[in-house]
Structure 1
């Protein structure tokens, strides 16, 4: 009996190992991405300079482009700059903002994209399946089982690994989980596998306190642990908080310089950041005093 299948968008090659950056040129040639060496490389204006020093000698035919930030205007400007270059591919080298810009620019001009991330901010630490199942149960939104399974395994692998960031085995698992998480989003056609209440809280921090916001990963991790508590999964929330603490990451608003009242304001505002997204925040529709009381209970539950 034939098995029904579907095409899944995925990277042509994934190379995760210590020293992979030093072999970038070899990977590009061996995978037939660029034989000529004519590459456009997008880097940030700050940390990108040091990366350029490391990588430029192995890419003598590359043209380098500094990207100021991660806005749509930056991405459009990058696309316009590389359009007439007759490049084999566009390499995005750096953090999430640079790679996002490179993705957009590459798609705009029809070039293959080579993503070379220099940090691992893991979206899989949120609980994507809980967001999917809640939206399905209440609103009848369809769950993509394959995407859900991939996202679940990505998160579980990181949460259960005993190593730390100094451990190459842990970094390997983290990077592989990020790849699975990204493919899960491609499979589902949206960001739900890696973006629920945790990201709404993150965006609320950024919008309400743009000058004081912490890093994307720190805010999402805190948001994920708190959202897990909101779902009633108190033991899972405490476990997640313990994992975050073990990696030196924040689990309370105070850990990133915010007061309780400021965090309450963030959680109250968070649903407005993603119109149409249904998470535990939209489901509970909590008011100010309720959020404050639940946050106090959450802090007690996760311990010090």
Structure 2
């Protein structure tokens, strides 16, 4: 009963104790509410899925809105995660579950279409976001890894944590900005992501994240080293600081 860290702790405790647990999130800041993985420090580790998930939309409405917007950002970032997974399948033959990939791409698209409703805290919009986050957890269970939910944009977030430990931005906010950058690198419709994030009031640039521009550039250029076992667009395009700066400027993430 609580937020992301508490639910993650419960998942690990349930795994070690070999007992079931029910997830009752009081905020929806990321997809950890339903996944079979728990974040320890930077990396996620295998845990157990909840036996059941109870989410009261009235409680979510009363939670800090910033957490809901961060959950929106985390869900939108699945678009680039799936693109990275498909790229890895094409380039190096990594296994991909088309079913898991389709779940997250479809869920992310639905959430983007629900942006205005989510911003207005309408029940239908919140239900769409909650269900999308739950299905993302299910997609990870199907895939047997975090691949359908975590790609270059999450590696960017982890790099920010290493390079700028005093940051105050949330994981979902960082992944959202990472998805802007990485969707640009993928030649995706990145303006659509920016527009949706602005509708819900989530950060779209370094000033809103309160992170120096040079850290943004360095994080994007070094993100590929966070998980060398995970092939992404950062490897495919061999992103260095010069390329990272161009991407950040072109997308408005930095001025």
Please give the alpha-carbon distance, in whole angstroms, between the structure 1 residues aligned to 2:222 and 2:129: 31
Matched, 1:118 2:26: yes
Q: Given that residues 180 and 251 in structure 2 are in contact (C-alpha distance below 8 angstroms), is that contact kept between their aligned partners in structure 1?
A: no
Matched, 1:202 2:202: no
Q: What displacement does 1:213 show? A: 4.1
Q: Alignment partner for residue 283 of structure 1, among 233, 236, 239?
A: 236
Please give the alpha-carbon distance, in whole angstroms, between the structure 2 residues aligned to 1:108 and 1:99: 14
Matched, 1:244 2:197: yes
Q: Which has the higher contact order (CA 8 A, sep 6+)?
A: 2
What is the CA RMSD across the aligned residues, in angstroms? Answer: 1.7
Please give the alpha-carbon distance, in whole angstroms, between the structure 1 residues aligned to 2:118 and 2:141: 29
Please give the alpha-carbon distance, in whole angstroms, between the structure 2 residues aligned to 1:290 and 1:148: 28
Q: Which residue of 2 aligns with 1:103?
A: 11
Q: Secondary structure at the match of 2:24?
A: strand
Residues 250-282 of structure 1: CA deviation (Å, up to 9, x unaligned): 111122112322210111121122220111112
Unaligned runs of 5+ in 1: 1-92
Residues 140-190 of structure 1: CA deviation (Å, up to 9, x unaligned): 112101111111111111011141242111110000001110000000000
Q: Which residue of 1 aligns with 2:226?
A: 273
Q: Given that residues 135 and 141 in structure 1 are in contact (C-alpha distance below 8 angstroms), is that contact kept between their aligned partners in structure 2?
A: yes
Please give the alpha-carbon distance, in whole angstroms, between the structure 2 residues aligned to 1:174 and 1:144: 23
Q: Which residue of 1 aligns with 2:117?
A: 163
Q: Given that residues 206 and 213 in structure 1 are in contact (C-alpha distance below 8 angstroms), is that contact kept between their aligned partners in structure 2?
A: no
Q: Alignment partner for residue 146 of structure 1, among 86, 89, 99?
A: 99
Please give the alpha-carbon distance, in whole angstroms, between the structure 1 residues aligned to 2:216 and 2:4: 25
Question: TM-score, normalization: structure 2?
Answer: 0.78
Residues 82-140 of structure 1: CA deviation (Å, up to 9, x unaligned): xxxxxxxxxxx111111111101101111111111122123331113211110011111
Between 1:108-117 and 1:187-196, the stretch displaced more is: 108-117
Residues 54-100 of structure 1: CA deviation (Å, up to 9, x unaligned): xxxxxxxxxxxxxxxxxxxxxxxxxxxxxxxxxxxxxxx11111111
Please give the alpha-carbon distance, in whole angstroms, between the structure 1 residues aligned to 2:161 and 2:82: 25
- Where do 1:34-49 residues align within 5 Å? none
Q: 1:168 to 1:241 in 2, by over 3 A?
A: same
Q: Secondary structure at the match of 1:164?
A: helix
Q: Given that residues 200 and 274 in structure 1 are in contact (C-alpha distance below 8 angstroms), is that contact kept between their aligned partners in structure 2?
A: yes
Please give the alpha-carbon distance, in whole angstroms, between the structure 1 residues aligned to 2:88 and 2:234: 11
Unaligned runs of 5+ in 2: 30-70
Q: Which residue of 2 aligns with 1:189?
A: 144
